Amino acid sequence: MTSALPAAGDGRTADVIVVGAGPGGSATAAWLAKAGKDVVLLEKALFPRDKICGDGLTPRAVRQLINLGLPMSETDGWAHNKGLRIIGGGMTLQLDWPDVASFPGQGMVRARADLDEVLARHAASSGATLLEGRNVAEPILDEQDRIIGVTAKVVDQRGRATGEREAYYAPVVVAADGVSSRLSVKMGREKREDRPMAVAVRAYYETPRHDDEYLESHLELWSTTPKGENILMPGYGWLFGLGDGRSNVGLGVLNTSEAFGRTDYKDVMRRWVETMPSEWGINADTMSGDITAAALPMAFNRQPLYDRGLMLVGDSGGMVNPFNGEGIDYALEAGLAAAETILQALARPTAAERERVLQSYVTRMKSMHGGYFRLGAQFAKLIGKPEIMRLAMKYGLPRETLMKFMLKLMANLPEEKGGGVDDRLVRLMTRMAPNA
**CB 423 within 8 Å of CB 408:** yes
**CB 166 within 8 Å of CB 12:** yes
Nearest to 346 by CA among 30, 140, 38: 38
What kind and span of H or E run contains 358?
helix 351-365
pLDDT digits (tens, 9 = 90+) for 204-239: 999 999 999 999 998 877 766 556 666 676 778 999
Q: How far apart are CA 257 and CA 389, in angstroms?
A: 11
**CB 414 within 8 Å of CB 375:** no
pLDDT digits (tens, 9 = 90+) for 54-105: 999 999 999 999 999 999 988 888 999 999 999 887 888 899 999 999 999 9
What pLDDT score does 2 carry? 39
Q: How far apart are CA 385 and CA 51, in angstroms?
A: 30
pLDDT digits (tens, 9 = 90+) for 156-172: 888 888 889 999 999 99
Rounded to two decimals, the pTM is 0.92
The CATH code for residues 12-80+107-194+298-378 is 3.50.50.60
Q: How far apart are CA 196 and CA 380, in angstroms?
A: 7
Rounding to the nearest 10 degrees, give the CA dihedral for residues 376, 405, 272, 226: 40
pLDDT digits (tens, 9 = 90+) for 232-285: 767 789 999 999 999 999 998 887 766 666 678 888 888 889 889 999 999 999
What is the crossing angle of helices 400-410 and 421-432, to 10°? 50
- Band (1; pLDDT cuts 50, 70, 90): very low
For the stretch 284-288, contacts whose Cβ atoms lie closer than 8 Å and that sit 24 or more positions apart, written own/partner, are 286/205, 286/206, 286/207, 287/203, 287/204, 287/205, 288/203, 288/204, 288/205, 288/206, 288/246
- Say whether pLDDT at 348 is over 90: yes
- Residue 393, CA distances (Å) to 94, 236, 288, 295 in order: 15, 12, 32, 26
**CB 335 within 8 Å of CB 27:** yes
